[in-house]
Structure formats: C-alpha cells, structure tokens
Amino acid sequence: MNNQTTFQWLTAALLLCLLAFQPLPAADNQLYHELGGQPTVDRITHELLDRILVNEKIAFLFEDTNREELHEKIANQICMETGGPCDYEGLDMIEAHSGMDIKYSEFDVFVSDFIAAMEAAQVPYRLQNRVLAIFAPMREDITYE
C-alpha cells in the first residue's frame, strides 16, 4: 500500500469513527419547547393546583395532599410526557388514583381546570390540544367507572 492509499484508508476510518460516535438523535421534545420549556410547565402546574385544590367538586379528594410534592410530580410528568428532559418517578396513574373511586364527571372537572390553567399560562389553543391529546387517554386508568 502506498502512502496515498494508506492516507485514504486512515481518513475513511477516522470518518467512520466520527459517525459512530455521533450523539443519538434528540428525542421528540418539540412540544415541551414549543410550550416554552420548564417555566411554562411550572406555571401550568401552579395554575392547575390553584384550581383543583379549591374546586368544590373535587377538592375533598386532596384534603391530605402536600401541594409542593404534588406540584413536583405533576410538573415532572407534564415535562416528561411533552418530551422535556425530566424523569417522572411518581406512581403510575392506576396506582396513584386507585381506591379514590374517581368518576368520569370528576375527571372532566379536572380536565376543565387543566384547560383553564393552560389558558392562564397563555398556552396557545393548538398547543393546548396537543397536551390534552397526551393526558385525556389517561382517563381509563384514573377513573373507576
């Protein structure tokens, strides 16, 4: 092998190494970023808790709830589900709500408060719909009817 061929092989090998160690493509974190990242996620969560903890139709379920702990878990969950850089480490939705006998109508109240919270956080309508499309299917795990 002459010098030129050796050089070409080395260049090709180097390129292959560089390609092999490319970082993995980023996860689809589009929605999280379109929402405005963690400040918006925290704002939505704050507005949501402001509503559900005093909403006379569902507040009785949260009588023993520590607001800060629930804030952290819900914010982490919204962050992760929208593709943000968070790990939700709370209970899964079946475990978290088992034994509460949550009705469809109570789930709807929660969702209305969620929408109002996104309005208050100035989340554009089209993004609200994308967030709801993620959380609405959780109804079957959360309710008992």
The one among 40, 44, 79, 106 contacting ligand HEM by CB under 6 A: 106
Query: For ligand HEM, which residue of 65, 105, 122, 129 counts as binding (CB under 6 A)?
Result: 65
Of 37, 38, 27, 45, residue with least CA distance to 135: 45
Q: Which two tokens stand for residue 36?
A: 């405005």
Residue with tokens 């090709």: 12
Name the segment binding ligand HEM (CB under 6 A); options: 1-9, 11-19, 26-34, 66-74: 66-74
Of 12 and 67, the one with the shorter C-beta distance to ligand HEM is 67
- Please list, residue by residue across 82-101, b when 16 or more beta carbons sit within 10 angstroms of its beta carbon and e when fewer do: bbbebebeeeeeeeebeeee
**Residue 70 and residue 49 in contact, taking contact as beta carbons nearer than 8 Å:** yes
Is 102 a binder of ligand HEM (CB under 6 A)? yes
Contact with ligand HEM (CB under 6 A): which of 44, 48, 74, 79? Answer: 74
- Residue number, 34 or 81, with CB nearest to ligand HEM: 81
Q: Is 117 in the site for ligand HEM (CB under 6 A)?
A: no
